[in-house]
Structure 1
Amino acid sequence: MELLERSPHGAFKTLGGVWRRGLAAVWDEVFTYNNSRKHDRYSYWLEGPGGLNKSDLQKIKTHVEQLEYKPLISIIMPTYNTQPEFLKAAIDSVLAQIYPHWELCIADDASTKSNIKAILTRYQERDKRIKIVFRPINGHISAASNSALELATGDFTALMDHDDVISVHALYMIAAELNAHMDADLIYSDEDKIDERGWRYDPHFKSDWNFEMFCSMNMVNHLGVFRTSLIREIGGFREGYEGSQDYDLALRVIARTPPERIRHIPFILYHWRVFESSGSYSTDFLDKAVDSSRRALVDYFESIGEEVEVTGGFLGYNRVIRPLPSPAPLVSLLIPTRDRVDLLRGCVDGILNRTDYPKIEVLILDNESVEPKTHDYFKSLAGDERVRIVKFTGPFNFSAINNFGVQQARGSIIGFINNDIEVIGSGWLREMVVHAIRPNVGAVGAKLRYADDTLQHGGVIVGLGGVAGHSHKHLGGTEPGYCCRIQIPQYLSAVTAACLVMRRSCFIKVGGFNEKNLAVAFNDVDLCLRVREAGFDIVWTPFAELYHLESASRGTDMAPEKAERFARELMYMRTRWSEVLDNDPYYSPNLTLDSEDFALGFPSRAKKPWLKG
């Protein structure tokens, strides 16, 4: 057993000899603890849509020869006292690559196990593409990675741990992506785990590039591939960030390249070695790894001139807290209603008395309420200068009512609030506003719960059920969701307008809600897609949390008298947004469109480059 007191590399793996892990291992423990990434049918999926058959392998070989651009890819691999069988498996997986234009750059960081040098030397003699440097002094993970980087001559550099395995088509997929996107500076793939028996499990099917998510978790590892010139430009790996050195490297690269040059390959190309005898991580290691991660994130924001606080989020994840400007912008909260004062009273009371935000106005958009108790309630609000009752006459048209409300609003920030929303925590609006005022953000959505505390809205995934569905709907209480996605802020394609905050200027720019074609259903999805089409991001945050009784005042869209209207709205969405609905960038093509629980997709919708043309 390797203890922190005995070896400086204990800071990367305290038990079992697995060395180069860092904060990623902490996050893995979070996933394992919550069992949030377990797919019981994964082995079956690998035999079908997730596997490679003989025909695939032959077509990949043919496509390799046809590639116009065949970049040299340098794989850097620091080693230290690796278990021999796992070291051999790692190197063998590189030797097995279908794509031949690679070099493996190994830096052994003064291993004390005598057999490591012999193993590495034999591999170097076997293949001239394997380069090795034996460091005379132990320098820790960053120094060792830099020694491996000094050997690299390729245009692109891939990071690989010394006991992990890459798939046979991993480097081919990188090369194919570079042929399709030759200006890419950073490429990352999906990954799974592999145990000591070679059994694969626990796949992580990732979002396309999602900076908001990346602030909480290092989704670039693994497999992460960087343009070598950029790594050298920033000075390689920084010492003092051990435990999160790969995260720090990625952050410094991201600061120097636009988002469109960061590419995601939705195929599992990397198998992360995990086995039960590896044990757990010491408190000292966790503290150091988390500290390195947060310092790296603070450094990033300082480098781009943005003031933030980086603190702890869910079970060790990072949380970025942005300040509310002074003076705070006026927020106009629009609440359409038709009677149902029992719901409206709870909604308004939470906003006026349990919301920690300094400047709000509440516009109750009254759509022909007739009950005396509703009008009595309106009169009771007359003395509160923050509240206005605005009359809207006509049949229920959510889009038209809210467009009308925006015309009456005075605030530079608009909040669309259903009358069946209830406040949980006082900071919800502050959290949403600090995102809404960011120049790149067009709309912000909240985490909404049913009255029984199960999840009602974890953001919107477009394409589910043909048009759109709510992420992780009905998930229990504090459960983390797939890869903890219900616990961390992220970019999404859409969020519900049951509680949506955005800049008035952005709402006007995209034309507001579509009141002609989408009177009731999908109008929020359509709005968000137009916001994204205009170049803005959509943020969903779990740190704005409220109750939503979901259409309690209106009934279900599946009532017979409303079915025809719903069908028309669905058809409009499929016609207007068909290409977008079939390719949500924030939801893996390897996951199902038939349910909202992030289950495996049969078949996969991922496009195989070797089948093109």
Structure 2
Amino acid sequence: MRNNEELSKIRIYLRKSRLFYIPRKCYAIMLGIRKHGFKAQMRWVHGRICDKIAQKQYYKCLQITPEERQRQRDQKYTTATCFSILVPLYNTPEKFLREMIESVQQQTYGSWELCLADGSDAEHSEVGEIVKEYRQKDPRVKYQQLEKNGGISENTNACVAMAAGDYVVLFDHDDLLHESALYELKQAVDQGADFIYTDEAVFSKNPKKPDSYHFKQDFAPDDLRSNNYICHITCFARTLLDQIDGMFRTEYDGSQDFDLVLRLTEKAAKIVHIPKVLYFWRNHALSVASDISAKTYCIDAGKRAIESHLERQQIKATVASSELYPVIYRVKYELSGQPLVSIILSENSPEAESEKCGQRIREITSYSHYEILVRRNGMKWSEVVAKAKGEYLLFLDSDCICRQDDWLEELLSVAQRGEVGAAAGVVSYPKNVIRDAGITLGVGYYGLGSNNFYLLNDDHDGFWGNFYYMHNVSAVSDTCMMVRRAYYDQVGGMDDALLTWFAGFDLSLKLRELGKVNVVDPYARVGFSHSDMINWEEKRNANGEYADETEQMALLKERWQTVIRQGDPYYNINLTSNSSDFILGKHQG
């Protein structure tokens, strides 16, 4: 037993010691090359290096010039907006407290009130004394000493009772605001937003050297339903509180902010994401940012918050923590009935194996109510769809092989949701590198669209863990794409003038124009059947773009130029435009 304990300590030391950092990384790279191939692994390494370098330099972009600072301070507004910044205090260290208050006082927009409800114990009476020091000099600082500590929910609710502003801003007692935070929020308010959130940074010691940045997507219902990616800053109109059942609810303590965000976004008329880092989240030993895995009450509260949201939306589904991280949740939707699914196998390669694909489907698929049709090479989309009898259409490359028995049920349960346009699975090449996992608009060498994570390892986490939860994308390819037949017909179906990939891209945008959301479900996985598939597709570049199909690209760029020019709402503008690998782009400070 003692030998085992000593061996365990040695293993921990080897995993964590900085002395062995480079050997560990080299060993991991060699394993990656062996598993995924040299090209895929080198692309992953290059992306990670570029991202690290860009993140170290990015803070320069957050600084504003003295001229810009003065311009923001001097700006006049036609309508007045007061922000109530809510901060529950509890035994807050003096350094954190002073830095937090001063980050508010340094705001370039001056119409605010800082509402501080103090639940600190008797041994930390200095918290109140420090706040009173600031309050004497600045009447915008409001303070209330609570009779007892009621926990974060009740203490924050006490802040709400103090607030008299038009908009509410949630702020933690140990964090910092960028000096332009309220100024940027005011610009969104003047555009009619009633719920606003921003990008954020996490730091341990020096906010000028953050550990990481969280560059978020615009409002994405499937992403939010799986994890609280909105987090900080959360700002909303005070009038929204009248439409929900109270502010923070104590039964959700630990994930009370997640519960609140879900309820507010259900009611909000205009949700705006500001793609700027305006919040600095301090990571220290006592913070949630440090280690949530030990705080099981937070995990359980988050699960209940999602379940409550689904119940309010009258959606039947189960919720469980993902394999990746306990507060990233997998929502599994309940299948309704047994509708017929028409599986349309498209022969797109010289060695198309539609018979093998069909046989595999019949052997492994647990869902039985389907039919299989084959779209031969050169056959029109309309020709094969006209023969389909199903209520749902599944377009599948005939070289694909399904990997799990419930793959069809998984996609169907998502496609059955009324708000969903296309539901797509994740498609991999034989060496377990990604072929299709959603498409980002306007990104890549040709400016039409780039395949997300193309040729990266299919066992990685994705962007902030989105390979472990359903997430929204602007478009998907027709390699593995399910759509409700009624929606398909409503938007005019596939364009017969378009080849595979381009047809799916076009259909996705037509569904989005219809007001539907497109979803990538990482729990529906299919793979290509023969090992030379990558070689055959060498006409695709490093982003999965079909470089030779200039006419197809030109047609779609012309058709969707306005949409493309607006940018992809699910891809942050701070990320690189060279590919959709979700790494930070180069910025000028």
Q: Which TM-score band applies after superposition, normalised by the shorter structure?
A: 0.7 to 0.9
2:318 is matched with 309
1:16 is matched with none
**Equivalent residues of 1:243, 1:289 under 8 A apart:** yes
2:424 pairs with one of 417, 433, 445: 445
**Equivalent residues of 1:36, 1:480 under 8 A apart:** no
Question: Structure 1's 450 and 162: CA in aligned 2 closer, same or farther, altered over 3 A?
Answer: same
Offset, 1:454: 1.9
- Aligned partner of 2:256: which letter? Q
Tell me the C-alpha RMSD between the 2 structures. Answer: 2.6
Question: Structure 1's 508 and 36: CA in aligned 2 closer, same or farther, altered over 3 A?
Answer: farther
Q: How big is each residue's C-alpha offset from its partner over 1:322-342, in whole Å with a ceiling of 9 and x where there is no partner?
A: 11112x110000012278667
The answer on 1:495 being equivalent to 2:480 is no
1:265 pairs with one of 274, 286, 302: 274
Offset, 1:120: 1.2
1:371 is matched with none
- Aligned partner of 1:599: which letter? I
1:575 is matched with 558
Offset, 1:239: 0.9
Moved more, 146-155 or 344-353: 344-353
Q: How big is each residue's C-alpha offset from its partner over 1:24-82, in whole Å with a ceiling of 9 and x where there is no partner?
A: xxxxxxxxxxx99964322312324x4423343233334x32x3223101000001111
1:18 is matched with none
How far, CA to CA, are the matches of 2:231 and 2:473 in structure 1?
A: 21
**Equivalent residues of 1:37, 1:483 under 8 A apart:** no
How far, CA to CA, are the matches of 1:132 and 1:413 in structure 2?
A: 58
Q: TM-score, normalised by structure 1?
A: 0.81
**Equivalent residues of 1:77, 1:105 under 8 A apart:** yes
**Equivalent residues of 1:402, 1:416 under 8 A apart:** no
**Equivalent residues of 2:51, 2:584 under 8 A apart:** no
1:331 pairs with one of 319, 334, 341: 341
Question: Structure 1's 246 and 520: CA in aligned 2 closer, same or farther, altered over 3 A?
Answer: closer
Q: How many residues are aligned here?
A: 528
2:176 is matched with 165
| Structure-to-structure mapping, 1:436-585, within 5 angstroms | 436-465=415-444, 466-516=447-497, 518-520=498-500, 522-548=502-528, 555-557=537-539, 566-582=549-565, 583-585=567-569
- Secondary structure of the corresponding residue to residue 325 of structure 2: helix
The answer on 1:44 being equivalent to 2:57 is yes
2:413 is matched with 434
How far, CA to CA, are the matches of 1:321 and 1:519 in structure 2?
A: 33
Q: How big is each residue's C-alpha offset from its partner over 1:333-381, in whole Å with a ceiling of 9 and x where there is no partner?
A: 00122786673344222211111212010112233xxxxxxxxxxxxxx
2:370 pairs with one of 360, 378, 383: 360
Offset, 1:224: 0.3
How far, CA to CA, are the matches of 1:126 and 1:144 in structure 2?
A: 24
1:343 pairs with one of 353, 371, 376: 353
How far, CA to CA, are the matches of 1:58 and 1:414 in structure 2?
A: 58
1:236 is matched with 247
The answer on 1:299 being equivalent to 2:308 is yes
2:390 is matched with 411
2:66 is matched with 54
| Structure-to-structure mapping, 1:189-200, within 5 angstroms | 189-198=198-207, 199-200=209-210
How far, CA to CA, are the matches of 2:574 and 2:211 in structure 1?
A: 15
Q: Mind listing any 5+ residue stretches in structure 2 that lack a counterpart? A: 1-47
**Equivalent residues of 2:411, 2:423 under 8 A apart:** yes
Question: Structure 1's 412 and 588: CA in aligned 2 closer, same or farther, altered over 3 A?
Answer: same
Question: Structure 1's 247 and 61: CA in aligned 2 closer, same or farther, altered over 3 A?
Answer: same
**Equivalent residues of 1:335, 1:364 under 8 A apart:** yes
Offset, 1:265: 0.7
Offset, 1:548: 3.3
Q: How big is each residue's C-alpha offset from its partner over 1:533-566, in whole Å with a ceiling of 9 and x where there is no partner?
A: 111111111111111369669755469xx98971
**Equivalent residues of 1:521, 1:569 under 8 A apart:** no
Question: Structure 1's 482 and 38: CA in aligned 2 closer, same or farther, altered over 3 A?
Answer: farther
Offset, 1:110: 2.9
Question: Structure 1's 557 and 315: CA in aligned 2 closer, same or farther, altered over 3 A?
Answer: same
1:143 is matched with 154
- Secondary structure of the corresponding residue to residue 367 of structure 2: coil
- Secondary structure of the corresponding residue to residue 351 of structure 1: helix
Offset, 1:280: 5.6
**Equivalent residues of 2:73, 2:110 under 8 A apart:** no
**Equivalent residues of 2:422, 2:483 under 8 A apart:** yes
Q: Mind listing any 5+ residue stretches in structure 1 that lack a counterpart? A: 1-34, 368-395, 605-613
Question: Structure 1's 451 and 100: CA in aligned 2 closer, same or farther, altered over 3 A?
Answer: same
Offset, 1:117: 1.5
Q: How big is each residue's C-alpha offset from its partner over 1:468-497, in whole Å with a ceiling of 9 and x where there is no partner?
A: 111112222421122112222111100111
Q: How big is each residue's C-alpha offset from its partner over 1:231-273, in whole Å with a ceiling of 9 and x where there is no partner?
A: 2442111112110011111112223234xx1111111110000
Question: Structure 1's 129 and 416: CA in aligned 2 closer, same or farther, altered over 3 A?
Answer: same
